[in-house]
Amino acid sequence: MQDTTPSPIHVYFALLPGSLVLDWAGPAEALRIANQTLVALGQPERFVQHFVSPTPESMSSVGVAVTGLAPLPDTLPSPAWVVLVGLAGHHIDVSGAEAQALLHWLRGLRPVAGQLELVTVCAGAVLAAHAGLLTGRRATTHHLHLDELALVDPRCDVAANRVFVADGPIYTSAGVTTGIDLLLHRISDICSPTVAVQVAQAMVIGLRRGPDDPQFSPFLHHRNHMHPALHRVQDAVGQQPQADWSVPQMAEVAHTSPRHLTRLFLEHAGIAPLQYLRRIRLATAEAALRSGQNVTQAALMAGFSSDTQLRRAWHQFGRGGTPSQGTGRARAH
């Protein structure tokens, strides 16, 4: 029997003297919590973290020495991510021996989506530009380094006022906490939106996107809040949309009354409970249609009582055409 377990992703945080602690510690914690969440769901861990540097010890931005760093690897497994982070100061000095060693190593990388991907946090994008990895790419960085990034590589399309930018196998973020935003986005892509939401909830942060980034998955809509009981209900609905849900049944999950649950949904999620349920079911049906299921099968998988109910939700939420015509013209709401 063929093993369908996905290969783990090896994530290499490349550190230099003065590397900003939050730039790498925040994303590293997000990946650790993602692994913990996956195990709790009965799934294998997806991320193996490595901390590498040209030297075995490096002084961090806050004056704490980071020891036991592995050397820059000669070869990288597939799939792998290389994470570059910012450095203390308003200008990225790459004249030192450690920075030159890192740039030499980076110049040997050939990012390919799904195989080797580059992730930058804050001024890590400037390091990537010095290595020639952003030529012809769209990228962002911390607002204090936007001009520096454009100067280092004039052929990089520098985007301002963005939380993060994705361009093929290159992912760049604006800095500090936006590195966590970017990793939540990637966790959602790799693991599932539900796992990303649970990681964000564990880290007590909201899910954010830049205004021009791709729209959230429908499973992430209405979840930019911190209410634990409401998250429990949304997790349960997202994991089993086909269940026979009602507001009283959702209220049992939240350990509250149906009337109070409705107030919580409206106050914190900006939507009524049953309307939220219909959105989740519609998203589930759309995914089933994209995978080749017919309308009847998609309606059943999503928890709609009939094809007619699916079609009614399809038009209610502004989807173009009909379910039988596919989801190509669907628009986000």
Q: Give the C-alpha separation, 16 to 95, whole Å.
A: 12
Give pLDDT tens digits for 174-204: 887 889 999 999 998 999 888 988 898 888 8
Q: Give the C-alpha separation, 84 to 81, whole Å.
A: 10
- Range scoring the smallest mean pLDDT among 103-112, 217-226, 268-277, 291-300: 217-226
Ramachandran region of residue 189, left (φ > 0), alpha (ψ -120 to 50) or beta? alpha
Q: Which CATH number fits domain 228-325: 1.10.10.60, 2.102.10.10, 3.40.710.10, 1.10.260.40?
A: 1.10.10.60
Answer whether residue 327 shows pLDDT above 60: no
Answer whether residue 85 shows pLDDT above 70: yes
Q: Give the C-alpha separation, 320 to 323, whole Å.
A: 9
In the chain, domain spans: 9-202, 228-325
Q: Give the C-alpha separation, 73 to 106, whole Å.
A: 11
pTM of model > 0.85: no
Looking at residues 94-101, what average pLDDT do you find?
97
Cβ neighbors of 324 (< 8 A, separation 6 or more) are: 294, 295
Q: Which CATH superfamily is domain 9-202 in?
A: Class I glutamine amidotransferase (GATase) domain (3.40.50.880)
pLDDT at 209: 56
- Range scoring the smallest mean pLDDT among 37-46, 158-167, 240-249: 158-167
